[in-house]
Amino acid sequence: MYYIVETSKSFDQASTAVESAVVTHGFGVMHVHNLRAIFHSKGVAFNDECKIFEVCNAQQAAKILNLDMRLNMALPCRISVYTENGKTMIGLIKPVQMLSALTQDAALVKIAAEVESIAIKIIDEAK
């Protein structure tokens, strides 16, 4: 269900590498959620770092939404950079498994497989 890799890069280096790899592979970063900063602004203690990158390839997203508009709730893809037990990790929930839980449409699963392949390349390149 997950694709997660450990990197020897620092959290900031890995975050920068993800942003760069997203663009290299024809995706765009729609938004970045910095959970530590958000939690701290709310007075909640949170020691680990975590950035969630909402990434999208507009052409692929449009294909999915044209087939099943309800799947807007599963988009965009999210790639996370986070620290855990002193290690920096990069990961995502695999789009094929996620969409397969929401639809049995073979055309949608095929698109999800294409997106998943590229998302894994993004993570591997950022590693």
Every domain of the chain and the residues it spans: 2-126
In sequence order, what are the residues at sequence separation of 6 or more whose Cβ sits closer than 8 angstroms to the Cβ of residue 15?
51, 81
Rounded to 10 deg, the angle between the 58-67 and 106-126 helix axes is: 160
pLDDT tens digit at each of 127 positions of the chain: 999 999 999 999 999 999 999 999 999 999 999 999 999 999 999 999 999 999 999 999 999 999 999 999 999 999 999 999 999 999 999 999 988 899 889 999 999 999 999 999 999 999 9
Pair of tokens at residue 64: 């999915």
Residue-level pLDDT at 99: 87
Are residues 42 and 99 in contact, defined by beta-carbon separation less than 8 angstroms? no
CATH of domain 2-126: 3.30.310.70
* Ramachandran category for residue 12: left, alpha or beta (phi over 0 → left; psi -120 to 50 → alpha): alpha
Task: Let me know the angle formed at the C-alpha of 126 by 33 and 29, rounded to the nearest 5 degrees.
Answer: 35
